[in-house]
Amino acid sequence: MADLLLPTNTIVHPDKDRFLHEENPFEAMMARFDRAAELLDLEPGLYKVLRNPEKTVIVSIPVMMDSGEVEVFTGIRCIYNTSRGPAKGGIRFDKNVTLDEVKALAAWMTWKCAVVNIPFGGSKGGVICDPLTMSIGELERVTRRYTAGIIATLGPDSDVPAPDVNTNERVMAWLMDTYSMHVGHTVNAVTTGKPIAMGGSLGRREATGRGCMIATREALAHLGLPMKGRTVVVQGFGNVGSIAAELLHAEGCKVIAVSDRTGGWYSKKGIDVTKAIAHVRDHQTLEGFDGGETISNEKILELECDVLLPAALENVITTKNAARIKAKIVCEGANGPTSAGADAILDEKGVFVIPDILANAGGVTVSYFEWVQNRSGYYWSEQMVNERLTEIMVNSFAEVLKLSKLHKVNMRTASYMLAISRVAMVHKLRGIYA
Ligand code: NAD
């Protein structure tokens, strides 16, 4: 706080060329933040405020496992910034969750909401556990105890979670129920990505993939390429990847490879996306899919294609493999799939990157619509949801593209510049409470 009241004249920008920890998502986020802050000539005080999360809560989650043994998991919730509205951000269940990852994801949520100009701040949560080895009952007990542990941060006006990797509508239903039991009445606006029957929005499940499809369509149009016949490679075949693949296919693209944690499948003629989705529905993963030759998750990224859509986890395109990426467009369905060091390599190669905070913002946009519908108690048709999502994605893409041309920077830096300037302006207007 003292630092904020006594701004110094010197900003200590970490060395932009230092990517010693390119695997660290928080550093990857900060490297991009620093570049945009420098170009915006951000005031030193604001720079310091925006480099730090507002609040991070870490809780122990004791859970009675089905075996009768007690296991203690760790849960994290990071509220990065709430200057523009309630914090918004998903909850991830994964054995590789780290504090820095959650902080980075929370910051990305802040910038993402600002890029598409929806009135939310950013947050993220994670529980370090291996959900794939846990029963439904164990997952429910983890969810409820985690919710109880972070309940002071939650609320429709303060912090609104959503699903992320390895969490889904069912997890959101347990979270909403636990919160509602604590406050004594039903509060469906406390989370988004809920089942439709309990206030979920039509179109939310498909929203992130749909947003990726729209962003890809805009990028192709910008490059003067038709949708029809464009070859697409999708890494990660969960909520984001499978729906983006399905919608791109419906728009006339040819999906030539898909992958998930069990491996990849390639077909020059094109993958039957509907069949791949049905396979995952019946078997949980793509393992055993017979619609193409097998290919590794590393090699799939290096395939010759028009559009590469990483939709799994962070840091899959790094300084180690960026030079071998052959796609014309990288549409970042996942959060943080490209390391900061890889950005420059992709730029040099002329790859058009639609950055995560723009490309996958369709999810949080329809989450916002869900929250609006919950709070007004009036529900929209799927057509209305999709039309409004399309309008926001198309306009946001155009705004970022305009800024990128104006400042002669890539789309990522332009997105950060747009987002940071919007968040910084609100901070400036609100001032610092002493
Ligand atoms: P999901 O759990 O539904 O799917 C993840 C997919 O990635 C699965 O197919 C999984 O098998 C695959 N995967 C996991 N590890 C992998 C690996 N090492 N190599 C290849 N594939 C691997 O998750 P999701 O909701 O689709 O999220 C995917 C990414 O998109 C995450 O980065 C998430 O933060 C981001 N995202 C999701 C949303 C959303 O609305 N769901 C919104 C914005 C961003």
For the chain, helix (H) and strand (E) counts, in that order, are 15, 12
The 8-class DSSP code of residue 44 comes to: H
Q: Is 393 exposed, middle or buried (0-12, 13-18, 19+ CB in 10 A)?
A: buried
Residue nearest to atom 1 of ligand 1 (CA): 238
CA of 238 to the centre of ligand 1 (A): 6
Residues with CB under 6 A from ligand 1: 163-166, 208, 235-241, 259-261, 285, 297, 311-313, 333-335, 360, 363
**CATH classification of 55-186, choosing from 3.90.1260.10, 3.90.1150.10, 3.40.50.10860, 3.40.50.300?**
3.40.50.10860
Q: Domain limits of the chain?
A: 55-186, 205-359
Q: What are phi and psi of 354, to 5 degrees?
A: -90, 110
Q: Would you write out the chain's pLDDT as a tens digit for each of its 434 residues?
A: 333 332 232 233 333 333 346 678 898 899 999 999 999 999 999 999 999 999 999 999 999 999 999 999 999 999 999 999 999 999 999 999 999 999 999 999 999 999 999 999 999 999 999 999 999 999 999 999 999 999 999 999 999 999 999 999 999 999 999 999 999 999 999 999 999 999 999 999 999 999 999 999 999 999 999 999 999 999 999 999 999 999 999 999 999 999 999 999 999 999 999 999 999 999 999 999 999 999 999 999 999 999 999 999 889 999 999 999 999 999 999 999 999 999 999 999 999 999 999 999 999 999 999 999 999 999 999 999 999 999 999 999 999 999 999 999 999 999 999 999 999 999 999 999 98
Distance CA 354, CA 361 (A): 11
Take residue 233 and report the two structure tokens written for it. 């490679």
Of ligand 1's listed atoms, the one at least distance from the Cα of 312 is 7
Beta carbons of 392 and 214 less than 8 angstroms apart: no
CA of 306 to the centre of ligand 1 (A): 21
For ligand 1, mutation pick of 103, 164, 258, 315 (most atoms within 8 Å of CB): 164
CB atoms within 10 A of CB 189: 22
For ligand 1, mutation pick of 92, 111, 205, 313 (most atoms within 8 Å of CB): 313
Catalytic residues: 124
CATH topology of domain 205-359: Rossmann fold (3.40.50)
Q: What is the pTM of this model?
A: 0.93
Domains 55-186 and 205-359 share a fold: yes
Residue nearest to atom 3 of ligand 1 (CA): 238
CA of 48 to the centre of ligand 1 (A): 31
